[in-house]
């Protein structure tokens, strides 16, 4: 399955690039928080990917053809969403938890399937684009 992982490739070429993730860790495309509806907002949440394990942000992600099974990817995403409080095991219903996992994984897979493997991508809001150079 195609997924996105953190990469340092092309990172640092743009003045406000961030590179806090662990190289190669799976990343999510987080939705902007309330109040960040305009792409001219200066919030990093509009231009970063979030590492599943580290919880850190990066402005560059790499499209990979992962050997990870979908069930394992779902487990990793669920764990990350629980760590961030998006899924509360004591309060979130199973159906709501599965919906959150489905949505988060679907965003990543949709982007990864849109670009060739080994493409470095960046984002601005919902728009994801290839970053040029190595």
Q: Which of 48, 101, 40, 44 is nearest to 76 (CA)?
A: 101
**Rounded Cα gap, residues 33 and 46, in angstroms:** 9
**According to the model, what pLDDT value does residue 35 have?**
52
Residues 21, 27, 29, 34: is their CA dihedral positive or negative? negative
**According to the model, what pLDDT value does residue 12 have?**
87
**According to the model, what pLDDT value does residue 54 have?**
95
**According to the model, what pLDDT value does residue 53 have?**
94
**Rounded Cα gap, residues 53 and 5, in angstroms:** 11
- pLDDT tens for the chain, 134 residues: list them: 999 999 999 998 888 888 999 999 999 998 766 555 555 556 777 899 999 999 999 999 999 999 999 999 999 999 999 998 989 989 999 999 999 999 999 999 999 999 999 999 999 888 999 998 65
Does this model's pTM top 0.85? My answer is yes
**According to the model, what pLDDT value does residue 33 have?**
60
**According to the model, what pLDDT value does residue 38 have?**
54
**According to the model, what pLDDT value does residue 41 have?**
59
**Rounded Cα gap, residues 83 and 38, in angstroms:** 27
């Amino acid at each position: 399955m195609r997924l996105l992982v953190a990469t340092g490739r092309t990172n640092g070429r743009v003045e406000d690039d961030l590179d806090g993730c662990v190289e190669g860790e799976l990343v999510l495309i987080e939705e902007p928080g309330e109040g960040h509806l305009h792409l001219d907002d200066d919030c990093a949440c509009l231009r970063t990917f979030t590492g599943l394990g580290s919880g850190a942000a990066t402005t560059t992600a790499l499209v990979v053809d992962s050997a990870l099974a979908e069930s394992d990817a779902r487990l990793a995403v669920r764990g990350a969403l629980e760590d961030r409080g998006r899924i509360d095991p004591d309060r979130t219903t199973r159906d709501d938890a599965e919906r959150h996992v489905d949505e988060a994984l679907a965003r990543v897979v949709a982007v990864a399937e849109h670009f060739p493997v080994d493409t470095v991508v960046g984002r601005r809001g919902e728009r994801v684009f290839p970053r040029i150079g190595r």
